[in-house]
């Protein structure tokens, strides 16, 4: 059975209430339950933190034993060399996901430090991007 971590960064704990026109009205917890129902033969794990070091610690914790990491680092995608280094330091492959199309937003969001450390990036497809990333790993 494959083990996949979904790692969400800052402000993603507010999904469902934060800017619903951009991020939708569904909480991530509700979406995650539906995702687990969709993939019952996969061990899906979820971790969210607003703190960069906690995200790095989680990558280190699972980065040699899991089959995949799906990472939406939120605003840290555009600022964190440390998160990029953490992804490079582990052997577990990662896929970057963004709910919104970062290339259609503010210019500072167009670049992600994580992209070249990941197998690929899915952006702009809403929460569906997480499902697509799970399917990639399967």
Rounded (5°) CA angle 114-91-124: 30
The catalytic site residues sit at 23, 98
Residue 118 three-state SS: coil
78 appears as a binding residue in the annotation: yes
Tens-digit pLDDT profile for residues 85-111: 999 999 999 999 999 888 877 787 788
72 appears as a binding residue in the annotation: yes
Burial of 22 (C-beta count, 10 Å sphere; 0-12/13-18/19+): exposed
Which pLDDT band, with edges at 50, 70 and 90, does 24 fall under? confident
CATH superfamily of 3-137: Dehydroquinase, class II (3.40.50.9100)
Q: Looking at residue 135, what is its pLDDT?
A: 98
Give residues with Cβ within 8 angstroms of 45, minimum separation 6: 3, 4, 5, 6, 62, 66
Q: Looking at residue 14, what is its pLDDT?
A: 93
Q: Looking at residue 109, what is its pLDDT?
A: 77
Q: Looking at residue 108, what is its pLDDT?
A: 72
Alpha carbons 50 and 68: distance in angstroms, whole number: 21
Tens-digit pLDDT profile for residues 26-82: 899 999 999 999 999 999 999 999 999 999 999 999 999 999 999 999 999 999 999
103 appears as a binding residue in the annotation: no
Alpha carbons 45 and 81: distance in angstroms, whole number: 24
Tens-digit pLDDT profile for residues 111-128: 899 999 999 999 999 999
Full-model pTM: 0.94
C-alpha closest to that of 96 among 21, 80, 108, 107: 80
The residues spanned by each domain of the chain are: 3-137
Q: Looking at residue 100, what is its pLDDT?
A: 86
């Amino acid at each position: 059975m494959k083990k996949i971590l979904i790692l969400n960064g800052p402000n993603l704990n507010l999904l469902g209430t934060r800017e619903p026109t951009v991020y939708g009205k569904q909480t991530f917890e509700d979406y995650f339950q539906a995702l687990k129902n969709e993939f019952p033969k996969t061990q899906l794990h979820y971790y969210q933190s607003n703190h960069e070091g906690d995200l790095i610690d989680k990558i280190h914790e699972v980065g040699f034993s899991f089959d995949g990491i799906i990472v939406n680092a939120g605003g840290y995608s555009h600022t964190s060399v440390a998160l990029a280094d953490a992804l490079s330091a582990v052997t577990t492959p990662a896929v970057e996901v963004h709910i919104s199309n970062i290339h259609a937003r503010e210019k500072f969001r167009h670049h992600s430090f994580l992209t070249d450390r990941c197998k690929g990036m899915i952006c702009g497809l809403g929460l569906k991007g997480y499902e697509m990333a799970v399917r990639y790993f399967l």
